[in-house]
Every structure is written in C-alpha cells, then in structure tokens.
Amino acid sequence: MSRVSTGGLVFEIADLIDHPGKEREVSGTADDIRIEMEDVLVESPVGVTARLRWVIEGILTRFHAEARASMRCTRCLLEWDETLAIDGDQLFGVEPDEDGYGLGQGMTIDLSGPVRDELGLTLPTAPRCRGDCRGLCPVCGNDLNRDPCGGHEDDSDSPFAVLKDLFDS
C-alpha cells in the first residue's frame, strides 16, 4: 500500500488523471476531525485507508475509516469507548458536487470531508450500552441493570395517585 499524502487525508492524484481504470491504495490519518453530539464524541486521530481509481467522471474513492468514540448510554448514563468502523464512497469530479467535493488545486483530493460526513451519519443519536438496558429508577436513581430497587410502592403523595384505580375492573 503506497502512502502518497501531502498531509492528513490530502492525496496527490496526478498519476491517475486520464488513465482509465488505473488505481492506487493510500492511507492516512485525520488529525482535525471532531464530532460532538449530546451523548457521543468522536475526536482525532481517524485512520483511513482508501482505493483511488480514475473513472471518466473523475477520481472514485472507496474508503475505510476507524475512529474511537466516547459514548454515554441515554438510559443508564454508563460511559464507554467504542471503535467505529465505516466504509464509504466518494466521487471527486472536475466540478465540485453539491457537498463541494471535487478535484483540488494542484491535482489533489481531500478525503477528510467525506470521512467526517460518513462518521457523522454512523453515530447513534441515542446510544445504549446494550439492547436490553433497563435504565435508571425514576424515583431513586438506582441503575436498574446492576441494582434493581424493590420499593417505591407508596405513591399516595403523587398527584396522579387518584388515577391508579381508574382502569381496575
């Protein structure tokens, strides 16, 4: 695998231009990616390997990226780190596409934008530590996965206590 990078995820592609079907593998690391959502954080470095191929429309890239994500369960608030692996495709044409990705000046392409986009689309909006997470007790705050609480039956102080018997037969 050759590494022809002018820095980060910017790759020279002059050797591929106007050579239909010619391809090359490249790799690099993005040091400027940061995606932060309420319960998810992805920070650099992001490792990327890609196959670049000249097609009639420009440079077609197929890439694989891996990044560490710090997550917090939206049910029980457990925090953990996870490695995310994504695959993506991007065509860098002579004219930039609707996202602004095109062949750069000096015969280069920059994969950092498409990689950031694919990572952002992969992140869960409501991460859970596991599929059957029971969350926290709404009364005492116990983590119901580790320590199920067995009380809280006296809800006579609740303004909704009068509704309790509404549907009893």
| pLDDT tens, N- to C-terminus, the chain (169 residues) | 333 444 589 999 989 988 888 999 999 999 888 999 999 999 889 999 999 999 988 999 999 999 999 999 999 999 999 999 999 999 998 888 888 888 877 789 999 999 999 999 999 999 999 999 999 988 888 888 888 877 666 666 667 777 767 776 5
Identify the domain containing residue 166 by its residue range. 134-169
Burial 116-132 (b: 16+ CB within 10 A, else e): bbbbeebbeeebbbeee
Same domain for 110 and 153, yes or no, is no
For tokens 């993506």, the residue is 88
Same domain for 104 and 147, yes or no, is no
Q: Kindly state the tokens that stand for 22.
A: 């010619």
Same domain for 140 and 62, yes or no, is no
| 3-state SS, residue 121 | helix
Number of domains in the chain: 2
Same domain for 10 and 33, yes or no, is yes
Question: Per the confidence metrics, is the pTM higher than 0.95?
Answer: no
For tokens 């320590």, the residue is 147
Same domain for 88 and 20, yes or no, is yes
Please indicate, yes or no, if residue 128 is contained in any of the structural domains: no
Closest C-alpha among 55, 54, 52 to residue 114: 52
**Residue 31 amino acid letter:** D
